[in-house]
Amino acid sequence: MKNEKYHKNVVDIVALIASDKKLLEEFFIDILTPQEFDDISVRFEIIKRLARGETHRSIADVLGVGIATVARGSRELLDPQGGFAQVLNKLAKK
């Protein structure tokens, strides 16, 4: 990845401030455009709904996204070692 060291910096910062939800939210609001923040939020909602077994079409209809966007999330969930699967497993243990 071209900007891998920058990616690491952002991940390190998020990890550092993760326990302070208000600061984390303010950081996301400052670093992302409103549309980017919305896009990330919708992408994770897609993942949660897929994990609950909702159909691609119903997710696309409810969230107002394309089937291709839902399908991309579905493909990412196929990797049990991927970030989405790991996060969902962590959430399930809460």
Tokens at 79, concatenated: 């990797």
Residue 11 has pLDDT above 80, yes or no: yes
Q: pTM value?
A: 0.84
Residue 70 has pLDDT above 80, yes or no: yes
pLDDT > 70 in the chain, percent: 99
Count H helices and E strands in the chain, helices first.
Answer: 6, 0
Residue 2 has pLDDT above 90, yes or no: no
CB 42 within 8 Å of CB 60? no
DSSP state of 32: S
Residue 28: CB atoms within 10 A of its CB come to: 14
CB 76 within 8 Å of CB 47? yes
